[in-house]
Structures are given as structure tokens and as C-alpha cells.
Amino acid sequence: MKATKNNRSTMRRWRGVTTLTASILALAVAAGPIVNSFRTDIDKFLGTSSTKLVHDGDEDISEVYTYTSDYESTTELVKAIEDLGERMNEEGSVLLKNNGALPLTSDETQKVSLLGFSSYYPVMGGDMGSSLTPNVGTDADTVDFVQALSAKGFKINSNLQDLYKALEPQFTTEIDNWGNKSIFIRITAPAIGNTFSSKEPSQAVMDEADAGWKDNLKEDNVIIVTLARAAGENRTYLPGTDGVDASQNLNQTDPLGLSDDERDLVAAAIESKNANGGKVIVLLNNASAMEIDELKNNDGIDAMLQIGLPGGYGFYGVADILSGEANPSGHLTDTYAVVNKNAPSAQNFGDFPYTNADPAYSINSVQVEAENIYIGYKYYETRYMDCVLGEGNASAAVGSTNGTEWSYDNEVSYSFGYGLSYTTFEQKLDSLDVDLENKTVTAKVTVTNTGDVAGKDVVQLYVSTPYTSYDKEHGIEKAGVQLLDYGKTGVLEAGASETVTIEADMQYMASWDSSSDNAAGTKGCYILDAGTYYFSLGNGAHEAANNVLSAQGKSESDGMTEAGNAAMTATWSLESLDNESFALTKNGTAVENQLEDMDLNYWMPGTVTYMSRSDWAGTFPKTYENLTATDEMLAVLDNDNYEISADNGDASAVTFGADNGLTLAHLKGVDDIDNPDYAKLLDQITLEECLIRTGFGGTSTKAIDSIHSPEAVQNDGPNGIYSYPLGQYANTDASTGDPCAIDANDKNAGYTAGVMGNETVIAQTFNKDLAKEFGQIMGNYSLWANLPIYWGCGTNLHRSPYNARNHEYYSEDAVLTAYQGASFVAGGLEYGLLIAPKHLAFNDTEINRTGISVFMTEQQARENELRGTQAVIEDAGALAVMTAYNRIGVYTDNSHTGLLINILRGEWGFKGLMSEDFIMDANYVCLKEAVLNGVTMSCNTGDNTMAAITEKYGYWTVENVGKDARLLTALKQAMTYQAYALANSNAMDGYTPTSHLITVNTWYDNLILGLQIAFALLTLLGIVMYARSAKKESK
Amino acid sequence: MKRKICAGLYVNLVTIIATVVGFIYYMINCNTAYFANLGVNPVVAGCIIAAVILQIVLIVIGMKNQPMWADILPVATSVLLMLGTINFVSARVNGIAAIITFENNAENMADLNSAIIGITACLIATVISIVASFFDVTKEAA
């Protein structure tokens, strides 16, 4: 009996052991395909590589590195990034006010008191997206404000520093994403659905921490107060008190306005200055325009400098401006309104759900951009001009801050394009020639430094186009002034002059007329109205508006805020309406209406009144909420808008799997996509490869065996390539001949380049060359880091300052956005880096961005947001684009043929690869519709098998897709676009026609295999031992 | 012959409860707005359901004189739970990554809640099932 009991016990033991080992074996076996699904991300995380480049031929490998770096080492590279980051903020910080307090004398730099917790804990990048990547122990370590000031020889009051250090826990925000805790010791932007909470310590808290803290200001009486508002992807501010944490009771009427704690701090600084002498300087550390009229009007504040989010090195530039080492030359990219929530765009900024929302299809909410073309200065300056001209009920109370007559001075603190210098400049418009045949406007402007110190100046060329009865009749809107182009001088010594020549693209002064006849024989065309066109220079849009008004014979007696200068203007007249000059785009494509279905009135006639300058009072936007999608809309909103069918042509005519003996390397640098070798190459690709690679394109563009296309790793931006450290994918094998191979122990291998000032800083430079230099230096970085694709050029507009993601976009203005973006992209392409503009298009809010229906007129779409990307494609030749989460009206962005095929690829001639944004929901990915519309990859990842892809997208099978000729053709076209982009990028560096990638086992592959073998054996052993025990039991 | 209840019964019952909890939350999660379009993964559902059935069979058989072949049941149960759990995790990784980064909002976090609870419950069930395999449900009374 006892023996039996023991045997049973032994059996149990071996049964348990077998269970344990079999379970781990199951885990190890299941891990194999899962690891394959996430291989790129795992390699990223572990720093491993699953492929290896092999050359079969005897080519001189050193000759196949097409692109070469300007730098000999990573030290030179990162030092150059550091230098650029410093210069970016020297030119990209905007001096808003200065009574002579700046620059500081050398003595004054030795007695600086920093107030405001954001002086010590500044916002240097986004909470999420364009976040700063701190670098320590490299040749270019990142610095905050205090470190930069110290490095530049400033002396900072340490007692105050200690005071704020002691209060540090109060500045902490912890964001818990299921265990993934992000700790921010600085101000943060509100998450979606949350409100803004001020973290500025009250005077009482400061007194409690150190009762004598104000005594520090007596001696160190150069007081710098930093006020900050953070930014972040997937974050948002909300207009007015709805966006503020009411429980704080800080008399804060808007999240972008000031709290009493901030006001009290500034007041304390001024009080101290009044008592002890010294200066009060305010730094604005923000990307979205803040409400700062009270600071502007406070004479106790001697100077105010807007510094953006300076990144890892920008504070060096800020320090240089403070000391006078650099002369500020930045200009605002956005209008600083007195009250942001009074803007027309704010009336429809928020969460406005459909009454019949359906999360199963990502049908959530609407955003009706009823403000029409009037965002930013296009609203404020146009309404102002109409006030002066007595047109369109512009002076009505609607939209005014004080509820009475609308008056510019009560509505705008600083206009778009405004900025001061330590010197003065005189601009003289020498000549302006309009060449309609060549579609250019050429302005020659002589800029003279009339002050005492050297500096740079920006020439801003605006145009005021006629607003005619035809426009009123046909619903065409015109901005009173709009930026047409800009240029920047070099450093001008005192008394020196430079002639700046601007050759502006005339298509950007044309207006979209949805009712016009066109060259295609349909409706919709760009037009130039008959009438007089005024061109004007100006330090900002408001000065330009005043100059135009002056040229029109108006004066302060007509209500102008100040006299204009007609000498800064030129005119040009057109006798009759012209709908022919811009009927064809630069590549000869006839334009026509493409976005009619983006107007809500297309689906629900008569619902929306879009704002018109013909009647400001009668058309000022109301809030469009509680809308119910009609059945017709729901039929599109379900995201299933293409039926795969055998009736779409002869599927057998589409070739796959041919043996043409080509590799992608044969087409390296071939920049004609119509070269027949591209078609031959793509005939080699298999349908399975097309299906898998379009469906699983996230994090890296994977290798394609049949055409020997290499894996190209993707990166996020825009503040620099920050997804991976420099050494993650760098070549550490110098024997390959790679001129950018690094040593495995390179000091800068851990350097990550998310260090540049944010995009508003770059735009505030108004310097295309600096934007281009950033592209070039990222191009260099990509050569060393082997990172050829970069989602790095945010070209959405600042429709509203409440969008907390504005830090990743340049400006409220389309032209400034387009030219800074185009310069950046062109700079990267010189080094084979594919910089993608994103997000095409209308990603104007982070609220409900996966599914939100964005509605607007086609004129608004084309002249604002789309114009912000157009030059990046047409002029810079971008070879990559990222689409958007949101819908274009009711269609998902990725399903909209008018936008993606007819405008992007048709009118603009885009030939490159195109990725979706990070959409994970297979229904909302709309893969078949996306491929048909030229999207080359979704952002999902998965195993390189048909089983995996079909599991994700049930209809995406060889059998199903293989019968649809239209879809097959689109798939091959998508892969052609992708191959073309890669062939013209540095992803092909090191590749020859005989080279190919082989798969290699990483250590974790070996580990999994080892575990499988070991636990298979142990399981077997368990079974055997169990069987032996059982045998004894039987006996 | 009378049989005495052993620890295995209780451990197996706890396993069943954890497994059922995991399954319920898996189904809840499959019907949330964010994850609904992924549908019900037959491998996950199949493995979990099969594991519950096997555990019930094991307890029923174990209450009597458990035949030797029934010793395969705890092994199969744990393997099934392991496979179900890992496929559950695998099917949710992209969604979890998206929600904690790009798509972080209150609704999506609520949807994620059921996934986290379900995965945790399945993981616990797997571990306990392995522990349970070292015990019998009953033994002969002395």
C-alpha cells in the first residue's frame, strides 16, 4: 500500500514536471511567429539585426555608397547639430517688446535672477511627439536654460534655484499608461478630455519655502520670468474656462491665458525692480499662441522674448540673444490674439459627437471649419481692413472681446510676422514685376541697417487681391492680405545694405472658384479676379495691411490703428477675370473640383453657413454640434467603399513573379519612374509580397526578396530623428567600405537627434536656408545612423492655438509652412533622406482624430492646409508622405480619391511612398481603398506570411484580390512608388546589383530555438519518467 | 471506496474560476469599441474553452477513482491555457501600444481595461494550472 502511495506521489510529481515543461515548450513554440510579427520592434529594442547584406559580385564596394556625409566622424556630426540648434533659436526667437533693456550688459549677465518654475524646468519639446531626447556623455550633450546660461558665462542667483529645487515635487506630472509611467517635471499639456492645471507656485507657497526669497532680487536684479505652455501629440487645450481646472480658482479664463499665480509672480518681479532697480524680462516658452495682452500692456515688463520649445541646444541661442551675442531676427508664425476663444475657428474646436456615432466604424465626431479661409491673420487683418473700408458689417460686435464694436486693437496683441531687433532696418521696394506668363512676382527690396549693431532682417512680401462682386456672387473669399513669399538678409553691419530678390510663385495668389469652368471641361479652377492687386512689405501682416490701406487712400482718421506707408507697396492690375493661367498645374494636369464632398452642405444641404467677409456679422460661425449622419453618409462612414470583384478587368493581364533578372540596385538613382526597367522589376514581385507589404508597413519598410529591396527603417520627428539612437542601426563593420561606419564603442552611438527646436521656432526664423540646413544635417545623420525614412515635416496648419500639437507644425500660414517645409525636405533629399510631410491632410485637432469628420469648403482646403504641403511636393520633390487619421468629410483620409490620387499624385505629381498614420483598427485602415488611392503601406506590423495578413484583413487573400484587375494594378503601382522612392534614397547605399540581404539568427532567435529544444527534451523526459512510475504503479 | 478531497480540487477550482474570468473579460474586450473589429480569435477562445472543459472533466473524473489516462488532462489544460494566453497577448499588443501612445483617451483606456484584466486572469490561470498539476483532486481515504 505504501509503495503504491509513493508511486502515485512520484507520478504526480512527474505529471507536474511534464505540465511545467510542456507549458514552457508551448510558450517557446508560440513565441516564434509572434517574434517574427514584431521583429523590427524587437530588433529596435534590443539593438539586434535580423538581416545581413551579402555581396556576390566583385564590385568595388566603396564605390556603391552614393551619398557621402559632410562629416568625418560622429563627433563632427553631433557638434554640427548642436551648432545648428543654437543658431535656430538665435534666429527663431521673437523679440516682442523691448524698451532698451535688452541686450544685457556684461555686468548685468552676472546678476541674473530666474523666476518661474519654467525657468528651471522648461518645456524643451513635446509631451509626446517631438519630445526632447536628452543626451548625456556624448560630444554634444543637451542643455536646459540654466545649463546654457552657465555655459555662456551668466551668473544666476543660486538661492532662487535652490528654492525652486525644493518645490520640485509640485512641478511633477505623472502620466500612467498602464504601468508605462511618464514623469514630467515641468508644465504639461492636457490629455484629451482633461483641463489645464497651473503649476506655478503661488506667492504664499514661495514665501513658505523661503520667506526672504525676494531679498535675492535686490542684488541680482536682472529678473527673467519664464512663462510656459506645453505641447503634445494626443493632447489638446479647450477654449475658455472649459479648458481650465476650475478647482484651482486662479482667475484663469483660458488655458492659454495667465493664472493669478503667474500674474502675481510677474507683479512681484516688477515690484522688486521698482524698489531696487534692475530689469524684468519675460520669456514665453510655448508653441501655441498665448493670451499675453496684459503682459504687452504692462510697462513694468521691459522686454518680452518668445522662445518656442528650444530643444536641446536652443537655450544657447536664447542666452546669446539676452547677452547681445546674437541679434534677434525671428518673427511670429501666428497671430497672438487677445482672447483666443473669440476666433471664428474656436467656435468649432472641441468634441462634437454625431448623435448616431458608432465606434465599430470609428464614426465619432465632426469638426465643421465654418470659418472658411479665415484662420489666423487672414481673419484678423481682413476684418480689420473691412472695418477701415466700412465693408461687410466688419465692426459689428460679434466676435469682439468686450461685446461692443469689433476693433483690431482690442483683438490682437501681436500680428503674424511681427518681430523686433536690437537694430533698426529700412526696407525699400526697388521694383516689383508681375510676369503672368511665367507666373512669377519678382520683388527687389533693398534693406539697410539703420541702427547701431549688426543683424539680419526679414523681407515679407504680402499681396492683397481684389474682392469683387464676382467673388461675392460665387462664394469666393479673399484675405485682406496674405503672405506671398519671404526672404532674409545675411548679417548686415550697421549702415550696410543688401538687396533681397524674392521671386514669388504667382499661383499662391490665385483663388479657388468651385463654380468656374476649367480646362477639364468640368467645374472648379484657380482664378485671378479682375482688379487691382496690392503688393506690400511689412514687419508682419498688420503693417502690410496698413501699407495697403494707405495706398488705398486710408488714414488713421478712417480707423486705422496707425498710419501705413504707401511707398512699401506696388500695384498690378488685371483687366478681366483669368481662369486660364492656373487651370493647369506645374505638371500640366487640369485642375477641377476634387473636394466637394468635404463640404457638409454636399451631404446635408443648407446646414452650414461658412463665414464670408461680405457679411461678418451674419456669417460669423455658429457651433455645429449634435449632427446626425444621414443614411447616405453612413453608407460611406462604414469605411467599406470598394467591392472586390472579378468584373474589374482582366486579372490575368497583371504580371507577377516574372524572372527578369533585375534587382532594385539596378535602378539606383534612376529618377524617371517611367523608365521601363521599373515595370520590368516590379513584374518580378509576387502578389503575396504586395499583399503583405501594403498591409504590414509599420516601423520599417521591410525587405522584398523578389526585387531585392532592402529594409528601410522609419523614424518619427519633426524635431529630429528621434526614434532610434545613432548607433542602433549604424554599420559597425568598417571593412564594408561604408564611409559612415562607426566604431562599436563610439562615444556618440547612444546619441539621439530629437534635439532641434520645434517647428514654430524653425518657422519663426523666416529663413529657408536654416530650414534646409536642418534637412541637410538630418540627411547626414541618416547616413551615419542608416535611417532613411523620416516622418519629419509637419505641414498641418495652426488652425487654432488650442491644438496642443501645433508644436509639430510650422504656422497658421500656408506659404510659410510650405516654404520652410519644402526647404527642409529638399535638404534631406540631397543626402538621400526621405523626409515626409505629414499629415496629409486636415489633422487639425487631436480630439477623436481616429474617425473625426472634418468639413470645409474646397477653397479653404486648397488655399490653407493643402497649400501648406503643395510646394513640398511640387518644388522640393518629396518622395514620402504620411496621410492622416481623420476623415475628409465622411471618407477616411486614406479612401479619398480626390485628395490622394487626383490632387496629390495628379495635380502635384507625387511619385513616392505613402504611409498611413498609426491606425491599428483593420476596419479603419481601409486597406483595399487605401491601396486603390495610392497608399503604399499601412502602419501595422505582422509576420511575413499570408496567414498573418489575412488574419488582420480577412478580404486580403491571394484568391480574393487576385481576381480584381483594378486592385492588382493598384498594388503593383503602390509597390512601384515604394521602389522608386527607395531607389532614390540612401537606403540603397552599399547595394549593388549582386548584393542581397540574408536572414540571420539573432541571439534571441537562438534562445527561442534553444528553449524549444531544451523543453522538448525535458517534456520527453517527464513523460518517460511518468511512464516508468506508472509502470510500477500498474505492477 | 470512499475518497478524500485533496488540494488539487481547490487549486483546480481556482484555475477554473480564473480561466472563466479571463474568458469573460476576453469576450467583453472583443466587444469593446476599440477592439471589436479584431473579432473573436478562434485560437484564443478555443484554447480557453477547451481548457475549462478539460478541467471540469478532470474534477469529475477525479472525484471518483481517477484513471491513469486522465493524467494527460492537467498537462493539456496548462498547454492550452498557455497557448490561449500568449495568443490573447499577441492579438492585443498593437492595440495596447497604440492606446498608451497615440490613441490615449478615456474611452480607449476603458476598452483597454478589459484586455488587461483578461490577460492577467489568463496568466494567473495558466500558472495555477501548472501548480494544480502537481496535485490530485482526491485520494483514497485511509
Query: Radius of gyration (Cα) for chain A, nearest Å?
Result: 31
CA distance A173 to A259: 18
Q: Indicate the SS3 state at residue A290.
A: coil
Residues on chain A touching B112 (C-beta within 8 angstroms): 178
| Residue type for position A711 | E
pLDDT tens string A485-503: 999 999 999 999 999 999 9
Identify the closest residue of chain B to A1033 by CA–CA distance: B68
Joined together, the cell numbers standing for residue A177 give 499608461
Residue A728 vs residues A731, A932, A991: alpha-carbon distances, Å: 9, 35, 20
Q: Is the pLDDT of residue A293 over 70?
A: yes
The vertex-A334 CA angle with A331 and A336, nearest 5°, equals 100
Q: Is the pLDDT of residue A647 over 80?
A: yes
pLDDT at B141: 66
**CA A29: distance to chain centroid?**
41
Confidence of residue B64 (pLDDT cuts 50, 70, 90): confident
For chain B, the maximum distance between any two Cα atoms, rounded to a whole number of angstroms, is 63
Confidence of residue A179 (pLDDT cuts 50, 70, 90): low
CA distance A256 to A274: 28
**Which positions in chain B have a beta carbon within 8 angstroms of at least one beta carbon in chain A?**
33-34, 36-38, 68, 71, 74-75, 78-79, 81-83, 86-87, 90, 93-96, 98-107, 112, 116, 126, 129-130, 133-136, 139
- Please give the DSSP secondary-structure letter assigned to residue A392: T
Joined together, the cell numbers standing for residue A664 give 532594385
CA distance A417 to A377: 9
- What count of other Cβ atoms lies within 10 Å of the Cβ of residue A4? 12
Provide CB contacts within 8 A for A162, sequence distance 6+: none
pLDDT at A61: 67
pLDDT at B124: 96
CA dihedral of A764, A765, A766, A770, whole degrees rounded to 10: -130
b/e map of A700-709 (b: 16 or more CB within 10 Å)?
bbbbbebbbb
pLDDT at A1: 46
Tally the residues of chain B.
142
pLDDT tens string A298-327: 999 999 999 999 999 999 999 999 999 999
pLDDT at A367: 98
Residues on chain B touching A30 (C-beta within 8 angstroms): 82-83, 86-87, 90
> Using CB atoms, which residue from B36, B95, B105 is nearest to A192?
B105
CA distance A40 to A979: 20
Joined together, the cell numbers standing for residue A965 give 484587375
Q: Is the pLDDT of residue A193 over 80?
A: yes
Residues on chain B touching A177 (C-beta within 8 angstroms): 99-101, 104
pLDDT at A351: 97
Mean pLDDT of the A930-934 span = 98
CA distance A868 to A7: 80
Identify the closest residue of chain A to B115 by CA–CA distance: A178
- Residue A8: φ, ψ to 5°: -60, -40
pLDDT tens string A362-377: 999 999 999 999 999 9
Query: Radius of gyration (Cα) for chain B, nearest Å?
Result: 17
Q: Is the peptide bond before A103 cis (omega within 30 degrees of 0)?
A: yes
CA distance A635 to A527: 35
Confidence of residue A455 (pLDDT cuts 50, 70, 90): very high
Q: Is the peptide bond before A708 cis (omega within 30 degrees of 0)?
A: no
Place of cell 501682416: A541
**Interface touch B86/A922, C-beta < 8 Å:** no
**Interface touch A11/B71, C-beta < 8 Å:** yes
- What count of other Cβ atoms lies within 10 Å of the Cβ of residue A437? 6
pLDDT at A62: 63
Provide CB contacts within 8 A for A63, sequence distance 6+: none
pLDDT at B142: 58
Q: Is the pLDDT of residue B70 over 50?
A: yes
pLDDT at B100: 76
CA distance A640 to A631: 14
pLDDT tens string A414-451: 999 999 999 999 999 999 999 999 999 999 999 999 99
pLDDT at A176: 61
Mean pLDDT of the A381-389 span = 98
Place of cell 542643455: A143
Place of cell 567600405: A737
pLDDT tens string A52-78: 777 776 766 667 889 999 999 999 999
Query: What's the number of CA atoms in the CB half-sphere (13 Å) around residue A459?
Result: 31
Query: What's the number of CA atoms in the CB half-sphere (13 Å) around residue A538?
Result: 33
pLDDT at B65: 75
CA distance A773 to A777: 6
- Please give the DSSP secondary-structure letter assigned to residue A978: H
Q: Between A775 and A724, where is the model more confident?
A: A775
Q: Are A532 and A514 in contact (CB under 8 A)?
A: no
Q: Are A699 and A713 in contact (CB under 8 A)?
A: yes
Residues A655-662: contacts with CB under 8 Å, at least 24 apart: A655/A683, A656/A683, A656/A685, A656/A686, A656/A687, A656/A690, A656/A968, A656/A972, A657/A684, A657/A685, A657/A686, A657/A687, A657/A706, A658/A683, A658/A684, A659/A684, A660/A684, A662/A707, A662/A993
Confidence of residue B104 (pLDDT cuts 50, 70, 90): confident
Where is A1009: in which H helix or E strand? helix A1003-1034
pLDDT at A724: 87
Identify the closest residue of chain A to B81 by CA–CA distance: A23
Residues on chain A touching B98 (C-beta within 8 angstroms): 918, 920
Q: Between A874 and A735, where is the model more confident?
A: A874
A991 to chain B, minimum CA–CA distance in Å? 32
CA distance A529 to A512: 11
CA distance B9 to B62: 8
Q: Are A281 and A799 in contact (CB under 8 A)?
A: no
**Interface touch A178/B133, C-beta < 8 Å:** no
CA distance A635 to A891: 10
pLDDT at A997: 76
- What count of other Cβ atoms lies within 10 Å of the Cβ of residue A509? 23
**Interface touch A30/B130, C-beta < 8 Å:** no
Where is A92: in which H helix or E strand? helix A74-92
Q: Average pLDDT over chain A, rounded to whole?
A: 95
Mean pLDDT of the A563-570 span = 98
**Which positions in chain A have a beta carbon within 8 angstroms of at least one beta carbon in chain B?**
8, 11-13, 15-16, 18-20, 22-27, 30-31, 34, 37-38, 128, 177-178, 180, 191-193, 233-234, 359-360, 850, 917-918, 920-924, 940-941, 1026, 1030, 1033-1034
Lowest mean pLDDT among A733-742, A819-828, A994-1003: A994-1003
CA distance A880 to A701: 12
Confidence of residue B1 (pLDDT cuts 50, 70, 90): low
A921 to chain B, minimum CA–CA distance in Å? 7
Confidence of residue A651 (pLDDT cuts 50, 70, 90): very high
Place of cell 461680405: A614
Q: Which is nearest to A785 in space by CA: A714, A730, A707?
A: A730
Q: Indicate the SS3 state at residue A275.
A: helix
pLDDT at A181: 67
Q: Which is nearest to A681 in space by CA: A707, A704, A701?
A: A707
Q: Between B84 and A45, where is the model more confident?
A: B84
| Residue type for position A970 | A
Place of cell 488685371: A574
Q: Which of A7, A188, A920 to mutate to test the interface with B (most CBs of B within 10 A)?
A: A920
**Is the ipTM of this structure higher than 0.90?**
yes
SS3 string, A469-525, reads HHHHHHCCCCCCCEEEEEEECCCECCCCEEEEEEEEEHHHHCEEEEEEECCCCCEEE
pLDDT at A736: 82
Residues on chain B touching A923 (C-beta within 8 angstroms): 37
Domain boundary assignment for chain B: 3-131
Give me the sign of the Cα torsion angle A85, A86, A90, A96.
positive
CA distance A590 to B90: 48
Q: Is the pLDDT of residue A798 over 90?
A: yes
CA distance A215 to A203: 14
